[in-house]
Structure 1
Amino acid sequence: MQVEKPVNPWLRQALELGPPILFFLAYMRFQDASWTIGGRDYDGFILVTAGFVPLLLLSMAVLWKLTGKISRLQVFTAVMVVVFGGLTVWLNDERFFKMKTTLVYGFFAVTLGIGLLRGQGWLKVLMGEMLPMTDRGWLILSRRIALAFAVMAVANEVVWRTQSTEFWVTFETFGLPAFLFAAFMAQAKLLERESLSAGGDGTGGPAA
């Protein structure tokens, strides 16, 4: 089992949030630009995507080097970014990168759903060390976060198909993370009730 080394929280935030924020800023700067490379015309979104992929991989590699740990969730996200970012650049079609977000959140929702069908709260595998809770608590939290991921996947699909690229970039960079943060913050009472450190025993009523 990997043991995570301590790292400055500000540095961690910079490595985790830096790439998407830089993607947003770069797109806002170059969205109306175009380049001709190898006889093909590429707009700003395509070129910014081409820069985002190695930047994300570099930030993950640095974080892995510093902490000595990388999660399966991070690996999966990186693979999806490489595959769909690569398709976006190769085929000169921004739709692939936009669909990536739907597939990532959809995958998380389906994976948690499979665990719930087996009577297991699989969020515990990813967050158990940070949030010591009863098994009942993990079941409830997994159910709620699976629903949040499903909502995010559907929302992304609707937005990228109906709104402008500029709107989608803003929504994907700030809107979806803010929604997920709010979804976790809304679980404060559950975390308090089911916390092992607070003496939770998982018998505080029906799972919801």
Structure 2
Amino acid sequence: MDKPQVNPFVKSALEYGPILAFFAAYLWLKDRVFVIGGTEYDGFILVTAGFIPLFLLAMGALWWLTGHLSRMQVVTAVLIVIFGGLSVWLNDERFFKIKPTLIYLLFGTALLFGLLRGQSYLRVVMEGLMPLEEQGWMILTRRVTGLFFGLAALNEFVWRTMSTEAWVWFKTFGFTAAVFLFFIAQAGLFKRYGLESDED
């Protein structure tokens, strides 16, 4: 059965809206401290607490509209609940900051495991978006694996050596820009190993 067609603007709003909302709310509340139940929470913790249900609602709406969530989205949601929840519960922002590291390490390790078996797990996720020859998928998978491990190391460097505000800026825009530029740089690979569809 064909997947329901969803307006691309709506889909993008559901995927990126919670992240942008987190960014905007953090800039608004970053210098404020809230006392809840006798415990002081800074703006970052309060924004994190609001981000978790907002993200889950967005993913729920996306699933309702499309009937599908990718494995990456599901794993990301689980880690957001676990590490975001730990940050709020323990009033410690470090748990939420290491979440991207764990996500990228997890996906990088999964792709590496597939490569060691001579398979491209990336192909399972992305084949419908860009059909490639087998060799092209293996090359792209090796490069994406390196990207994931590189982003994990970069996240560790940023949150451990820079301010929370710098990390929020980097998390919101830096990762997105890095992934975008990475795939732009793969244009030669797509051209060399791309497959034409039957309709073409």
Match of 1:56 in 2: 55
- Alpha-carbon distance in 1 for matches of 2:184, 2:106: 22
Match of 2:94 in 1: 95
CA shift, 1:3, in A, is 4.3
Q: What's the secondary structure of 2:98's corresponding residue?
A: helix
Match of 1:29 in 2: 28
Match of 2:44 in 1: 45
Alignment of 1:154-193 (within 5 A): 154-193=153-192
Match of 2:77 in 1: 78
Q: Conserved in 2, the CA contact under 8 Å of 1:81 and 1:100?
A: yes
Matched residues, percent identical? 54
- Which segment drifts farther, 3-12 or 37-46? 3-12
Match of 1:152 in 2: 151
Q: What's the secondary structure of 1:35's corresponding residue?
A: strand
Q: Which amino acid aligns with 1:45?
A: F
Q: What's the secondary structure of 2:123's corresponding residue?
A: helix
CA shift, 1:4, in A, is 2.4
Q: Which amino acid aligns with 1:103?
A: L
Q: Which amino acid aligns with 1:21?
A: L
Match of 1:132 in 2: 131
Number of aligned residues: 198
Q: Conserved in 2, the CA contact under 8 Å of 1:84 and 1:97?
A: yes
Q: Conserved in 2, the CA contact under 8 Å of 1:152 and 1:176?
A: yes
- Alpha-carbon distance in 1 for matches of 2:125, 2:118: 17
- Alpha-carbon distance in 1 for matches of 2:38, 2:3: 47
Q: Conserved in 2, the CA contact under 8 Å of 1:133 and 1:196?
A: yes
- Alpha-carbon distance in 2 for matches of 1:3, 1:129: 13
Match of 1:17 in 2: 16
Q: Conserved in 2, the CA contact under 8 Å of 1:3 and 1:68?
A: no
Q: Deviations over 1:129-178 (max 9, x none)?
A: 11111111110000001111111000000100000000000001100111
Q: Which amino acid aligns with 1:132?
A: P
- Alpha-carbon distance in 1 for matches of 2:183, 2:157: 23
Q: Which amino acid aligns with 1:195?
A: G
Q: Conserved in 2, the CA contact under 8 Å of 1:47 and 1:89?
A: yes
Question: Which TM-score applies when normalising by structure 2?
Answer: 0.96
Match of 1:197 in 2: 196
- Which segment drifts farther, 82-91 or 117-126? 117-126
Q: Which amino acid aligns with 1:58?
A: L
- Alpha-carbon distance in 1 for matches of 2:14, 2:177: 18
Match of 2:118 in 1: 119
2:3 aligned with 1:4:
yes
> Which of structure 1's runs of 4+ aligned residues deviate more than 6 A?
none
- Structure 2's unaligned 5+ residue stretches are none
CA shift, 1:198, in A, is 7.8
Question: Which TM-score applies when normalising by structure 1?
Answer: 0.92
